[in-house]
Structure 1
Amino acid sequence: MFERIIDLTKRFISTQPSRKFWLWQIGFWLFVSVMSFAVLTLWYGPFAWQHILHIVLQAILGLVLSLVLYWVFMHIWDKSTRSRAVLGFFAVMTVSFIWTLARVYAFVSLTGDDTEWAQFGGWHFASIFIFLCWAGLFHGIRYYDLLQTEHVILLQAESEAKEEQLKRMKAQSVARDAQLKMLRYQLNPHFLCNTLNAINSLVESNETVKAQKMTVQLSKFLRYSLDNNPDTKISLETEVNALNLYLEIEKTRFEDRLKLDFEITPEARMALLPSLLLQPIIENSMKHAIAQSESGGTIEFRADVVGARLVLQLSDTGSGAKIAKSKLKSSTGRGVGLRNTDERLKALYSNDYTMDITLLPSGGLKTIINIPCEYNLADKVESTITKERLA
């Protein structure tokens, strides 16, 4: 019941803030009246209707004078603390004196007891105390309201800041995804163009079986490339299977000129890495090493787990021509795939990776990528169970 009354009071006040002022005003002077009746009227002996009327009149007059005090406090609110203290105290003393005069005059008029004027000092002291309590209550409620308002403003600002941060993070995520997709697909048009030209050559040579096989291989690789998000991490084993889709196409083009030498340790097979991370590097090797050499060449790939790091090493035998190291950082030639791969790694791992590029005496290129070794928990458990069964 008491909680329901409090809830109804809050609703009554919340609909119109000015109601709070009148609520605590009436409550304050009602409390003063009750205490005056209980402590003074009942204490000093028998009472008549004149005493009750006097209590009501002094409460009404006190409420009116407190409105004057409220007006003064509101007008001096923006002044300095010292000015407010001096002016406020002066206002309290003035209002208290006026209220004391009115109270004593009303009491003498109603009861005919002129001796109360001799007790004026006691009446005045009580008046000062009451209005000082009123002033304290006013300032307490005023500061509480200001703190509540400031709290609401801070909550709104925090909410807006969080909303803005979420929007910014979402925008950054979209931009990051777009950047990653751009970096991953930048070389694909070259590969697609070369593959379509190879298919066209096979059709012109009436090698329809090879052309059909190559078309199916291209379709599978492009489907895989489109279905996988560029910042999704997959196991190295899945990545190698995707590379094989790509390399099967290249084998159809280069036949015996292309040789592959892959060595992957069991610990590295289930390690996670960004999807199609290695394909641009191998495509670089195909375009600038294997395709440029009459005898073709070999692409080597090594993968191992060293400590808590996944180490990937790719190299090719080169075309026989020397490569200037400055070209590896350019936006054309072999530098495109390497630069894009490095930017993808930076976007995904920040500074927790290394990518070292070394020129080989044969004109080939060796790329070593070092990233944190991560596992999919389900794959890791399955791999452990398989090892235990084999043991």
Structure 2
Amino acid sequence: MISDVASSREGITSRTAILSILGFWAFHFVIVTLRAAVLGFDDQLEMLVRRAVVTLVSIGITMVVWLLLRRVHGAPLSRRVAAAALLAVPASIVYSAVNYYVFYDFGLPKSVVIANKADEKTLTVQVDMTHADEKSPVMAIADNAANGYFFFAAWAALFLALTYAAETGHAERRVARFRAAAQSAELRALRYQVNPHFLFNTLNSLSSLIMTDRRDAAEAMVMNLSTFFRTSLTGDPTEDMRLSDELRLQRLYLDIETVRFPERMLVDIAVPDALMDACVPGLILQPLIENAIKYGVSPARRVVRISVRARESEGRLVLAVEDDGDDKPTGATIGEPGVTNGIGLRNVRERLAARFGDAADAAWGRRPGGGWAVVLTMPLVRNGC
């Protein structure tokens, strides 16, 4: 939690910034030391100590630069780059002055000489001030500050790159959290879209049972309705449920509707026992069965069969809800892109897309033998609900 807060405020945590400083100057220290050893300078131990002093001071200077750069965190990148470029100027001057004092003014070992005249200028900057008598202290410090500026500018570039990467990662995580929250809200909204006609029709049927003094049937209907709504509204809409539990809920719903259409509706549920533990989005079958009753059973003047089927195909779960009622006035043959003005089927397709992405699909249309069918295909998931 603290690390996240620091990341959002500073771009990178203080720990990361400090480690970048220590790592940068440790690398510089090692490279310069190896260079001196390869060139065969004398008094390596004493020079190592002086170099370590300069490195420690350089770390302190860079710490100050970092603390000042933190003040412009959140500013446009161009402003931060300009701030880093400007801060590197005084930092390089202080670094060069310290380097001059440690390697020359403090007393340079007489045995340290430059073996290769061609490298005299470079080695004077990096290692010693043997020929400082040829330049004034100001000129020597200014000459060395040019190289020092490169060091601090290089670290500042590294710091800005790390900060930008951290900011980008933080923004991506925020977007991911918002996307997950939006998806959860979408799933909840889709799950809670209970058709009000179902409730109104059920209450009308219940009223009819009471008026005709069919108390036992009315009581059973009230208990089924209560169980259905309690289960459907209290479950987490973002979680899956076992197919067996989904079918139990749909049987409750069908029992309620059977009271309305006792002579016109037959129900056939055929699901293999091996698929009962498959995980499906909760109430994913509800809109399909509701549509079958609304468009197949309700307008019919004959018995209409509603079938619920499930099968496994190539590691995927296939669910189908069919009715043999009259053909819908608009629609495509099953397997083609369906044409519908209702929200129920779109609701199902959107829920599948939110849950499984492109791995799931919903197709609907007229059956070859008449009636209407909806087929859902999704990954077969077990023991995950």
The TM tier, using the shorter chain, reads: 0.5 to 0.7
Q: Does 1:32 align with 2:125?
A: no
2:296 to 267, 275, 289: 289
Q: Does 1:258 align with 2:265?
A: yes
Calculate percent identity across the aligned residue pairs: 26
**Aligned AA (1:324):** T
TM-score by length of 2: 0.64
Matches within 5 A, 1:175-190: 175-190=182-197
Flag the 1:30–1:231 CA change in 2: closer, same or farther, 3 A: closer
2:379 to 357, 368, 372: 372
Flag the 1:21–1:251 CA change in 2: closer, same or farther, 3 A: same
Q: CA deviation at 1:359?
A: 0.9
User: Which whole-Å CA distance do the structure 1 matches of 2:324 and 2:136 have between them?
Assistant: 99
Matches within 5 A, 1:209-220: 209-220=216-227
- How many residues align? The count is 293
User: Which whole-Å CA distance do the structure 2 matches of 1:314 and 1:123 have between them?
Assistant: 93
User: Which whole-Å CA distance do the structure 1 matches of 2:53 and 2:222 have between them?
Assistant: 77
User: Which whole-Å CA distance do the structure 2 matches of 1:234 and 1:282 have between them?
Assistant: 18
Worse-superposed segment, 171-180 or 30-39: 30-39
The one-character-per-residue Cα deviations of 1:113-138 (angstroms, maximum 9, x if unpaired) are xxxxxxxxx978x6269989755642
Aligned match of 2:339: 329
Aligned match of 1:235: 242
The one-character-per-residue Cα deviations of 1:292-334 (angstroms, maximum 9, x if unpaired) are 223332111111112211111221111x3553216952323xx
- Specify every segment of 5 or more residues in structure 1 that has no aligned partner in the other structure, as ranges: 41-88, 93-121, 380-391
**Aligned AA (2:103):** F
| SS across alignment from 2:236 | coil
8 Å contact kept, 2:365–2:373: yes
| SS across alignment from 1:277 | coil
Q: CA deviation at 1:281?
A: 0.2
- Specify every segment of 5 or more residues in structure 2 that has no aligned partner in the other structure, as ranges: 1-48, 69-89, 113-120, 125-129
8 Å contact kept, 2:95–2:148: no
8 Å contact kept, 1:187–1:337: no
Q: Does 1:274 align with 2:323?
A: no
Flag the 1:300–1:24 CA change in 2: closer, same or farther, 3 A: same
Q: Does 1:14 align with 2:21?
A: no
Q: CA deviation at 1:276?
A: 0.9
8 Å contact kept, 2:265–2:305: yes
| SS across alignment from 1:312 | strand
Q: CA deviation at 1:171?
A: 2.4
Aligned match of 1:167: 174
Flag the 1:37–1:9 CA change in 2: closer, same or farther, 3 A: closer
Which structure features the higher share of helix residues? 1
User: Which whole-Å CA distance do the structure 2 matches of 1:252 and 1:4 have between them?
Assistant: 91
User: Which whole-Å CA distance do the structure 2 matches of 1:26 and 1:315 have between them?
Assistant: 86
Flag the 1:322–1:285 CA change in 2: closer, same or farther, 3 A: closer
The one-character-per-residue Cα deviations of 1:353-390 (angstroms, maximum 9, x if unpaired) are 2323231366411222221111116x8xxxxxxxxxxx
User: Which whole-Å CA distance do the structure 1 matches of 2:140 and 2:102 have between them?
Assistant: 14
Q: What is the RMSD computed on CA atoms of the aligned residues? A: 3.8
Q: CA deviation at 1:144?
A: 2.1
4+ residue segments displaced more than 4 Å = 2-13, 15-21, 34-37, 128-136
The one-character-per-residue Cα deviations of 1:35-79 (angstroms, maximum 9, x if unpaired) are 556349xxxxxxxxxxxxxxxxxxxxxxxxxxxxxxxxxxxxxxx
Larger CA Rg, structure 1 vs 2? 1
The one-character-per-residue Cα deviations of 1:161-215 (angstroms, maximum 9, x if unpaired) are 2232223222222322333333333343222222122222222223233222212
8 Å contact kept, 2:317–2:378: yes
Matches within 5 A, 1:54-73: none
Q: Which has the higher contact order (CA 8 A, sep 6+)?
A: 2
The one-character-per-residue Cα deviations of 1:72-124 (angstroms, maximum 9, x if unpaired) are xxxxxxxxxxxxxxxxx9xx9xxxxxxxxxxxxxxxxxxxxxxxxxxxxx978
Aligned match of 1:345: 352
Flag the 1:13–1:172 CA change in 2: closer, same or farther, 3 A: closer
TM-score by length of 1: 0.64
8 Å contact kept, 1:328–1:338: no
User: Which whole-Å CA distance do the structure 2 matches of 1:285 and 1:35 have between them?
Assistant: 97
Flag the 1:36–1:358 CA change in 2: closer, same or farther, 3 A: closer
Q: Does 1:207 align with 2:214?
A: yes
